[in-house]
Structure 1
Amino acid sequence: GLVEYLGFDDKSAGYTASAEMFGIALTTVAMTFLSHRINWRHCLYGSLGLMTVANAACTFTTDPMVFVALRFAVGVGAGSVVSLGFAIVGLTANPDRNFGFLIMWVLSYGALGLLVMPSAYQLVGMDGVLWFFALFPAFAMLFVHLLPTNGEDVEIVEADALDLGRGMKACALAAMLCYFTAQGVVWAYLFLIGLDGGLGEQQVANGLTLSQFAGVAGALLAALLGNRFGRALPLTISIAGGAVCLYFLTGTFAFMVFAVFVSVYNFFWNVTHPYLLAAMASFDRHGRIVIYAVAMQMVGLAIGPGLAATVISEGEYGNVNITGAALFILSLLLILPPVITHTRDVHRAAARP
């Protein structure tokens, strides 16, 4: 939309997208230091207000540099909303289910956005779309008063939430970093992997679109299962399953192979994500570890593409898949000790008279 409707060149459009993502990543990292010192409601009001004003201001400028600065401001606001939003969900009584539903609706919203965006541009233009993005966070401000002021004030938390030791928490955060670095490695080049496998651009696009629906199904499954089978088993199956899928996306392959394994891969990703976040939520009783985990998620997604670029050799993407799979397995090895330790400690606490 930036190129076609605002007249930006490809480079300016790229800077714009990068600025917004950098704003999100910067704020999620900053929230790891600030979240326990600030009033969450005040922060959310300010962040949503910033998103509203910056999105609206974008409709009054055609200067690419000003537009980039405004998109960065939108990202700064969005980063706080993402961090605190995940932290608040982590403090609910059933985070496995609630994270699953949250991710399912985010994926559905994204898929719907991709579907209607071309028509929206034609009907209301870029300014109309930007005003929608301005009004959406403004509407969300109506509900901020229902949210906690900080993690210390929440009296109803997950039944098995307890404070793990620093070593186990560090291990869990390292797992989060490895897992989302792997996602950054793979997704940055998945389209090119499809082309390198002998598929046409439309075939690759169709396969990736189908995988979005599989992702929704994965998040829904996590929501429906909740903590019924614990977290170690779902995490083991979904993380290892995602790594295995990459084996089938090397060399030359048919469209059906690509579509099936990309869909299964995305399915496992969106089973893993809510369980990872729910596990983080159970490792402390005040939501801090979830905020740290979201920062690790954003950092991993940011450094993944750069890491992938260093392992590509002469247009061959096999090393990308190997790197991604290795990071997936490493993340599994890192997350299992804190998950198992947490389960053991919960059982011990329940057995005490």
Structure 2
Amino acid sequence: MTQQHTLNAADTQRYRLFAVAADSTLARLMLAFLATAGLFYVNIMPALVSGLIEGRGFSARDAGLIGSCNVYGAAVGAFIAIFLVKKLPWKTAAAALLLLLISLDLVSMLLTNPLPMMLLRAVHGLTGGLLVGIAFAVMARCGQVHKAFGMLLLVQFGLGGLGVMLLPPLVPLFGSWVLFMALIAFSLTALLMLAFLPAYPLLPLATQHGAAPVQYRPLLAAILAIFLFQAANMALYAYIIELGEQAGLTLSIISPALGVSAWLGLLGSVLVIWLSTRFGRALPVFISIMITAAATYALHYSASAAIFWLANLAVGVTWAFSIAYLLGICAEFDQAGQMAALGGFASKMGLASGPLFAALVIDGGSYSALINIAVVLLMLAAVVALYPCRTLDNANA
């Protein structure tokens, strides 16, 4: 039994006139903007947390919890989207969700109390998570799907780097509303692009006869490694501006370091494509995560601008490199693709849990304990990841 959305003659003619080619680079760019719009605040999380502290007078703990609520909401939304993407008219749903995101960001500009902000950003996250889930489902209908996700990384790291470089210095000048205006501008851009995307009708359900059974033990290990890795990284990333300032650095040093670090994430994703599995998975993943741990430990010496820069640049490359491999490993354990979605859910849960955990650890104002705990979690993630990596390497030997 198959499912397929059909278009009437008028719809078909309209899409011919206004839509870009379904498998074109421009279509992939537009889909990347659509997917990024729901989670762009993650890419500028340091700017958002710092802006709430500097511009609204929120405590570091409250600002971190607000960021965490945002991403937890996104995790829930992404999970719900798994069950809705085949039932909703995706363009109408995406447009409605983008308009809701814009409305929530407008209201966020008016709130001055942490608790209402936490609740509102949780709803914002839920909305964005639904949008990302829909966008990912549509991207899966493109030809050469890996190119669509490559474009997604390009947009996320490129514009995310620009955001963390330019936004923090603007908060003291214009106030924290500038952060939400940046999110609104991104959503408006995605809404405009949505009008030019083709229909991407739902494809027939893939047959799963003869598919190998899912190996749940190594799969669960891969999911745990993703959670640990993302939580450890985001715990520090959310507070990296405050960490640098506490060490005596200025925004003129911190913001460019974060921007260039985000852009170097593009190098990490390119390295994954180039290396592929020529050296297996276990060795590249283990080395990459251990480098992340070493660079994270180096943040103890952030009083040196050179060390702060080098540590962030190293994490920028290895973060993108490692998570691309780990998410790919989840997909390889399930030919039907459902476990890849579960890996994405684990990733969002890790991204949400990091700021929450950090907000509790740094309540006393010290970042040393947070750095040490993040290093331990990263090393644990590297060890846990060896099991699924070796399982796949041995199976393909």
Structure 1 residues 249-298: Cα deviation after superposition (integer angstroms, max 9, x where no partner)? 21464211211121112111111121122112212123222222222222
**Correspondence for 2:191:** 138
Aligned to 1:108: 158
1:287/1:222 Cα in 2 relative to 1: closer, same or farther (>3 Å)? Answer: same
Q: Does the 8 Å CA contact 1:94/1:226 hold for their aligned counterparts?
A: no
Q: Match for residue 290 of structure 2?
A: 240
Match of 2:261 in 1: 211
What displacement does 1:177 show? 1.0
Match of 1:183 in 2: 233
Distance change >3 Å, CA 244–CA 100, structure 1 → 2: farther
The yes-or-no answer on 1:153 pairing with 2:214 is no
Q: How does 1:1-353 map to 2 (within 5 A)?
A: 9-10=56-57, 22=69, 25-32=72-79, 35-36=82-83, 38-39=85-86, 42=89, 45-55=92-102, 64=111, 74-86=124-136, 99-113=149-163, 132-142=185-195, 143=197, 145-146=199-200, 148=202, 153-154=205-206, 163-251=213-301, 253-312=303-362, 315-347=365-397
AA matched with 2:280? G
**How many angstroms does 1:248 deviate by?**
2.1
Displacement of 1:329? 1.3
Question: Residues 97 and 226 of structure 1 are in contact (CA less than 8 Å); yes or no, is this contact kept in structure 2?
Answer: no
Label 1:225 to 1:145 Cα distance change in 2 as closer, same or farther (>3 A): farther
How many residue pairs get aligned? The number is 334
Shift of the alpha carbon at 1:104?
Answer: 2.8
The 1:170/1:92 distance shift into structure 2, 3 A limit, reads farther
Between 264-273 and 306-315, report the one with greater CA deviation: 306-315
Deviations 1:212-240 (A, max 9, x none): 23223222322343344332222112111
**Contact 2:138–2:200 at 8 Å: present in 1 too?**
no
Please, which moves more after superposition, 175-184 or 138-147? Answer: 138-147
Alignment partners' CA distance in 2, 1:264 and 1:167: 31
For the Cα contact (< 8 Å) 2:233–2:374, is it kept in 1? yes
Deviation at 1:210, TM superposition (A): 2.8
**Preserved contact between residue 148 and residue 154 of structure 1 (Cα < 8 Å):** no
Aligned partners of 1:99 and 1:274 also within 8 Å = no
Once structures 1 and 2 are overlaid, which stretch shifts more, 218-227 or 181-190?
218-227
State the alpha-carbon separation in 2 of the partners of residues 31 and 165 from structure 1.
24
Q: 1:163 to 1:145 in 2, by over 3 A?
A: farther
Q: Give me the whole-angstrom Cα distance separating, in 2, the residues matched to 1:306 and 1:21.
A: 5
CA deviation after TM superposition for structure 1 residue 79, in Å: 0.6
SS in 1 for 2:300: coil
How far the C-alpha of 1:326 sits from its partner, in A, is 0.9
Shift of 1:34: 5.7
Unpaired segments ≥5 residues, structure 1: 348-353
Distance 1:195 1:27, change over 3 A: closer
Partners of 2:63 and 2:359 lie apart in 1 by 21
Structure 1, 15-24 or 186-195: larger mean CA deviation? 15-24
Contact 2:101 2:127 survives alignment (8 Å): no
* Paired residues of 1:210 and 1:259 also in contact (CA < 8 A): no
Give the CA deviation at 1:70.
Answer: 7.3
Letter in 2 for 1:279: I
- With structure 2 as the length reference, what TM-score do the two structures score? 0.67
Mapped partners of 2:394, 2:232: distance in 1: 29
1:170-206 CA-partner distances (Å, limit 9, x unpaired): 2111111111110122213323332343433432333
Aligned to 1:285, the other structure's residue is in SS state: coil
- Alpha-carbon distance between aligned partners in 2 of 1:231 and 1:96, rounded to the nearest angstrom: 18
Two-structure CA RMSD over aligned residues (Å): 4.3
**Change beyond 3 A, Cα 1:242–1:20:** closer
Q: Percent identity?
A: 22
